[in-house]
Amino acid sequence: MQHTLPKFGFRLLAQDGAARRGEIVTPRGTIRTPAFMPVGTTATVKALYTDQVKAAGADIILGNTYHLMLRPGAERVARLGGLHSFMRWDGPILTDSGGFQVMSLATIRKVTEAGVEFASHIDGSRHMLSPERSIEVQCLLGADIQMQFDECIELPAERNEVERAMQLSLRWADRSKAAFEKARDEGLAGAGQALFAIVQGGTDYGLRRASAEALVAMDFPGYAVGGLAVGEGHDLMLRTLEATLPFLPEGKPRYLMGVGTPLDLIEAVSRGVDMFDCVMPTRNGRHGLAFTWNGRVNLRNARHAEDLSPLDPESSCPAARDYSRAYLHHLVKSGEYLGAMLISWANTCFYQELMQAMRDAIAEGRFKEWAEATKARLNETPSAGSL
Amino acid sequence: MQHTLPKFGFRLLAQDGAARRGEIVTPRGTIRTPAFMPVGTTATVKALYTDQVKAAGADIILGNTYHLMLRPGAERVARLGGLHSFMRWDGPILTDSGGFQVMSLATIRKVTEAGVEFASHIDGSRHMLSPERSIEVQCLLGADIQMQFDECIELPAERNEVERAMQLSLRWADRSKAAFEKARDEGLAGAGQALFAIVQGGTDYGLRRASAEALVAMDFPGYAVGGLAVGEGHDLMLRTLEATLPFLPEGKPRYLMGVGTPLDLIEAVSRGVDMFDCVMPTRNGRHGLAFTWNGRVNLRNARHAEDLSPLDPESSCPAARDYSRAYLHHLVKSGEYLGAMLISWANTCFYQELMQAMRDAIAEGRFKEWAEATKARLNETPSAGSL
């Protein structure tokens, strides 16, 4: 007998210019797109209760394969019933493949055709990630949406090095797909609903197109753009996106990985991106930087020391609405947990409010005007990254 | 026209052996005694929202004069509307006098008849605390219950040094009382509802009695026992308490400062103590030690790594009831904020549940049996302190 749960699916509900309003249906719930996924690195969205993440409006969160396979370990998470019940998040979870963090965090790495051997940044223990092992880990975690294993190289790099890594990632995409479908066809507990491919190719438009076309030929249910927001700058990121998106199918979700600032999100949505993830709201929250509808507020700044106004009196988020900037300033300066808790919460709410505003603007056919007005109001500089 | 708010008052509702069930009435709410006051050191009960502290059952919290006068500064807190609105706690607040922490934290100290000159542990800036300045700070903070300024010496110490400090503290009690009453009589904004005296005298029973009798002659609305739980050990602390409490009036609340473990609380309540404060639930929470009805649980221990049971399935606290020990273990091992948040929350709830259970047992005349059964269940060793 078949389960009656809805299968994975994506449908476009509205389009406004290149911006898209849609929804991804999964057995664990519907994801309204454009969507921002809070990052639950090590089975926790840092300094937040999952109830707060859900109430903020997040339909899906992201988990990190690299972190979770090292601690507490993927087999352990599986024995404990999977990542959802472990961390008390009953909505959909997307896991990355570990490809990015094995390059940015692991201390020793050796890349071969088979995969990547590396040493843990926690205790130096040796591990292997390959397309097959990455999918195995993601199934052990029980991720609803899984990502192909890819090689992420540091930029800038020579064109032939970028091409080599992109071609390797294509072969790994094929192997990831085979492993994913095998797990699903065998009815493995924790098998995912959908595997997304990752377009690579650095900032070389020709390589991006080649990567996209090859992946589309393999027919994935969703496509990510990887290897961006790694220091190439806002403008080059957007141009590379413009050179890539036309080669991805209209009817599949498009996910820009690891992005970004509020300005990045608006610009990427205006170009047709549907999904994002980024540590920015929570990492900046831990360092005293708040995102608001009137721009960034650095709560470390002494000018907030006696400011009784809240971050945003009209916010639906208690952290942004009910606490004075003076109090937040004090908490940040004192290194108190509650400072990180409140500002991470406020930022997580702001990011979800931003996505909701974009979804509404697209549905109502006024995205361009909304984007112009909002960019002026946020007053973000294109180069602004983290603190 | 007079405010119709209730004035400060204490009444005994029940007595069972020496254990007392009572209530302290203040304009900001009634405090059910025996009461445990969570410590909100620097205007935050660490890693908790005030809503959680209130829902846990706490009627009153404690703020630290020493910390708050240094950061954000008492005058600043007053300009911002007082400590209650600053930290969003609308119930009663008790502030200590700074006497203990100026001795345990400040880097340089000079004690004279006038007061204590000291250097801040934060930035080395120079400050002065005297009976008058301590009361001024406590009024600027807007504390409902204030404490006399006292000299806390390190133990063990020679008897004549203990006596000198005790006698000085008596003179400071008198000056504290004059300053407190002046503020109240002048209708100063932030003037307190009650000033408590602090019995000193180390572990010398004669000095304790002399201190108590002298303070009682001054007629304070409440009496604290200070200078205990500073390394003298559980048994000597209880014997000193037994040698002190008979010299305090029946009709005034009795507060044992800085105490303690669950066992300390049970033993002190059985001897007639009404109020406590201690950082133990939150400090231990940040280090992975949980207090439960079945004893302490060190969540760093590897035996919890795959334990799906919660800390206490029957707890009314979500942190103790809804998360597996395996997850808490993972969070603690990973140094995640959420680990500190959840275990501090669970401990704060446990301490309040413990006080409620004591209040119920006293009211129902079964405190002795309850205490024996609970001590057996908690299985605390008398010498157990922090982690």
pLDDT, residue A214, reads 98
Backbone angles phi and psi of B135, in degrees to 5: -65, -40
> Is pLDDT of B1 > 90?
no
Active site residue B277: yes
Using the Cβ of A309 and the Cβ atoms of chain B, whether some distance falls under 8 Å is answered with: no
pLDDT, residue A385, reads 53
Find out whether A21 and A12 touch, Cβ atoms under 8 Å: yes
pLDDT range class, residue B182, cuts 50, 70, 90: very high
Enzyme catalytic residues of A: 96, 277
* Digitized pLDDT (tens) for each residue of chain A, 387 residues in all: 445 567 899 999 999 999 999 999 999 999 999 999 999 999 999 999 999 999 999 999 999 999 999 999 999 999 999 999 999 999 999 999 999 999 989 888 999 999 999 999 999 999 999 999 999 999 999 999 999 999 999 888 999 999 999 999 999 999 999 999 999 999 999 999 999 999 999 999 999 999 999 999 999 999 999 999 988 999 999 999 999 999 999 999 999 999 999 999 999 999 999 999 999 999 999 999 999 999 999 999 999 999 999 999 989 999 999 999 999 999 999 999 999 999 999 999 999 999 999 999 999 999 999 999 999 999 988 765 543
B260 Cα distance to chain centroid? 9
Closest residue of chain B to A46, computed from CA coordinates: B337
Of B71, B79, B323, the CB nearest to A334: B71
pLDDT range class, residue B382, cuts 50, 70, 90: confident
Instruction: Report d(CA B366, CA B358) in Å as an integer.
Output: 9
Residue B164 to chain A, least CA–CA distance (Å): 36
Using the Cβ of B327 and the Cβ atoms of chain A, whether some distance falls under 8 Å is answered with: yes
pLDDT, residue B155, reads 80
Instruction: Report d(CA A200, CA A214) in Å as an integer.
Output: 11
Using the Cβ of A120 and the Cβ atoms of chain B, whether some distance falls under 8 Å is answered with: no
CB contact under 8 A, A76 and B306: yes
SS3 A134: helix
Angle (deg, nearest 10), helices B325-333 and B337-363: 130
pLDDT range class, residue B106, cuts 50, 70, 90: confident
Using the Cβ of A303 and the Cβ atoms of chain B, whether some distance falls under 8 Å is answered with: no
pLDDT, residue B231, reads 87
Using the Cβ of A43 and the Cβ atoms of chain B, whether some distance falls under 8 Å is answered with: yes
Using the Cβ of A89 and the Cβ atoms of chain B, whether some distance falls under 8 Å is answered with: no
CB < 8 Å to A286, chain B: 337
> Is pLDDT of B191 > 50?
yes
Of A44, A80, A323, the CB nearest to B338: A44
ipTM of the complex: 0.97
Considering B144, B264, B277, B312, which one is annotated as catalytic?
Answer: B277
Alpha helices in chain B (DSSP H): 50-56, 65-70, 74-79, 83-87, 99-104, 131-141, 159-185, 205-218, 234-244, 262-270, 280-286, 318-321, 325-333, 337-363, 367-378
Q: Which pair of tokens denotes residue A69? A: 């396979």
Sign of CA dihedral B181, B184, B187, B189: positive
CB < 8 Å to B40, chain A: none
The arithmetic mean of pLDDT across residues B350-366, rounded, is 98
Considering B16, B96, B144, B274, which one is annotated as catalytic?
Answer: B96
CB contact under 8 A, A80 and B338: no
Q: Tell me, what DSSP letter sits at residue B25?
A: E
CB < 8 Å to B305, chain A: 72, 76
CB contact under 8 A, A80 and B331: no
Q: Which pair of tokens denotes residue A258? A: 């690891």
C-alpha triplet B13, B237, B130: angle, nearest 5° = 85
Find out whether B311 and B346 touch, Cβ atoms under 8 Å: yes
Of B72, B327, B336, the CB nearest to A86: B327
pLDDT, residue A384, reads 55
* A377-386, B36-45, B193-202, B235-244: the lowest-pLDDT one: A377-386
